[in-house]
A = this chain, B = another copy of it.
């Protein structure tokens, strides 16, 4: 991040307050977070079939699998041991430890509940190229932008608790055969808000000018686009018009 004069906030009258910054970030979520995406709306209305849920579980596994890699890149860029100690939690949450399976294994359990084989999911055969491209862009962002922007790109966690609560309720209602696979979401109900709180405080404290605040907001916008594009790709391949690209997962009997 850039070097600044000590009186930067006084000099930069446009600097947003904490509440002002949070309101801008929430505005991005309302406009672009994937809770509004038609694929999710169909999921929550019980209008996805088993094959479509399999395609979703398979493709989103690729996203889940890179999250701790993304967080390890951020770890590697944090110069402050206290920051790294706090951020390390995220790698543990996803990779697990002696006491807990971690999010990746929990996602595999969900994929198995849809009827997929865990080893096939782990191998990633049939994952849509567009999924990989969108997810890899998340790695590009945390590698190539400032640490401030890398942290800010995680702030979709500000919105995920509400979406996950709704999803769990709707899945139990419409796809009761999936109920045994919801541990991933259960864990995220507490993990995501903790992580979001740390990240928004970090962004507020480390964005010293309005221009830096705007970069942080843009990073969140770009992250929302990454999530949205993953659902676009699923919808296009498996709902309408229903054309998976060469080599992608095919729904049985479709």
Contacts and interface: CB of A to CB of B under 8 A. Distances in A.
A226 B133 CA distance: 8
Given A136-B140, A228-B246, A246-B228, A233 B130 contact: yes
Interface in A211-254: 221-222, 224-226, 228-229, 232-233, 235-237, 240-241, 243, 245-247
Contact of A243 (B38, B130, B137): B38
Copies held by the complex? 2
A129 interface: yes
Q: Which of A129, A137, A221, A241 has the largest number of chain B CB atoms within 10 A?
A: A129
Q: Taking chain A's interface residues, is the majority helix, strand, or loop, or is none over half, making it mixed? A: helix
B32 A228 contact: no
B129 A228 contact: yes
A130 B136 contact: no
Contacts of A233: 130, 229, 232
A85 interface: no
Interface string A30-42: 0110000010000
Interface string A123-134: 000000110111
A129 B246 contact: no
A130 B225 CA distance: 8
B133 A32 contact: no
A38 B236 CA distance: 13
Contacts of A247: 32, 221, 225
B130 A246 contact: no
Contact of A133 (B229, B245, B246): B229
A228 B240 contact: no
Given A129-B134, A130-B232, A232-B233, 16 more contacts: A38-B243, A129-B229, A130-B229, A133-B136, A136-B136, A136-B140, A137-B137, A221-B247, A225-B245, A225-B246, A225-B247, A228-B245, A229-B245, A235-B236, A236-B236, A240-B241
